[in-house]
Structure 1
Amino acid sequence: MVLGKAINMSLMDISKIFSMLQPKEEEDEEDTGESRLLNEAVSNDDAVLLAELLSQERYRKFINSRTGWGIPGTPLRTAAAQGNLRCLEVLLAHGAEVDSLDVKAQTPLFTAVSGKHVDCVVALLKAGADPNGSVYNNCSPVLTAAREGDMDILRELLQHGAEVNVRPKVPEWATNATACRGPLYLSAVYGHLDCFKLLLLHGSDPNYNCIEVKMLARIKQPKTVLEMCLRYGCGMEYIQLLIDFGANVYLPTLIIDKTTKQNEAVLLLLKERVCPKSLMSQTRLAIRSYLRTANKMRCFDLLDIPPILRNYLKHIT
């Protein structure tokens, strides 16, 4: 029954994506010239020509048309993928659909994140792009930025309300450990310490990448982030951060390896098990837990408390 439901949902998603690629009724073969010229102007990063074309109604009505070889996309997607900020701003000013999808169900924001074009990412977010990307795409901008170690892009996404505990989208019947590999996990195994800390600052769960109880229950032996950091030899910095942000040090199953680096991390974890946290540290964790996850860092600035306490809540020393 569950399997059938998951398959039906997948077929609906596929139908949705393909329906978006079908030409609109008002479009015909004679109109492909206008769409092609728009995309050529964007590809050549000719913002002046693009603005001139969009000043005419015959071109403006094709601003959201999908054309091109390989992955048909809108002019906005092309601008985002190539990092052509001037053209991207012209398109947005003329009303381009900010969250239009391509055949992969990727938004222009997703392609800008994948291309590491931080200026385009900022412009799209300010124009109202969904920081979480598309519900029809298995990945997300946050997952991509965390994997690639794009600190500036990741910060922009989180500041605009992106889901910090996002996970890859897989059908419920295909649930496994991979489905729980969220951005915190990815930033750790790829060695992006700055991104790892940033995610924790914005409220990422320090115990599991996945916060869905039902999904965790379907996995035989879900691994905590601490366990994964120990397995991949991430080092003491990662372990210390997880401890500071309230990870449950009693959850991981400890396996002593021969590597000195891992053993140091294990010793740090064992020490934490026998030494309770200070009252100040416990208070900080309690206050942080009461603040909403979205835009958590911005919430601290709204608290009517001395700067030194505000910085302590932000883990600024």
Structure 2
Amino acid sequence: MVLPRVLTAVVLAPLFLWLLFLGQLPFAAFVWFLAALALWEFHRMGELGGHATQGVWGILGGLVVVTALTFPGVRPEAPWRAQAPAFATMAVTFLWMARELARRDKGVSVLRLAMSAAGLLFVALPLGFLTLLRELRGDSAEFFHVGRDAAVLLVALIWAQDTAAWAVGMAFGRHRLAPAVSPKKSWEGAAGGLVAAVAVSLFLREAWLRPLFGRGEVILLAVVLGVLAQVSDLAESLLKRCLGVKDSSALLPGHGGVLDRFDSFLFTAPFFYYYMISLGKGA
């Protein structure tokens, strides 16, 4: 189990970082692909758990909203850009409702609509914020690639934390973090993950991101993002436990599915995006 996990990480991490540097459109396409797989896993878990879902229509609706949220290649200052996600959400909800009205088995319509809405809010929209974060631009040549640099920091600290939490937990884990939700996670692993997140963030700050983040700021960010990543992970574990499945799928050897591998971004990507724009570090 260890070797497949390591090999998958060795392939995924460089690919993800390469796409971050390759450009906005390739990265947006990759995130869109991830969202499609994650939405498929989400609705599949619902069906395995015995819950009614809208299946492919729920997946397509989520992808429409992700596309409207990011619109790769279109700058945020475009007059219609800010309204596109809300319009897409309304349109998709209308179509979902219309489809339920046309069904004969209306007894579980509310459940099907709820599953589609949950997939949209918990999976599609949060992953879309990865593209929004990558798209941020600064107000000078020095900070032109602020979004790319911030995304690299986020990816590096989260994957450092995930790896360290897993390794430390395997070696020293004694006290369960949330036994009712995820029996294998430990307080020792969580602490080791936070230490790794801070260490990697400080290294990147000193080596590359000194103009963008202060030393104290990057430490605080690493701790906050690290905690949010662990909460994201536990939230996905809670979802799987409620639906009675062990992994979201078996697409990624040693990790489970796309949701299992990228669940740490579900809360961290939106938080980091709004942190950056609220402090004027990008637009």
TM-score by length of 2: 0.28
Higher helix proportion (structure 1 or 2): 2
Q: Which has the higher contact order (CA 8 A, sep 6+)?
A: 2
TM-score by length of 1: 0.26
Larger radius of gyration, structure 1 or 2?
A: 1
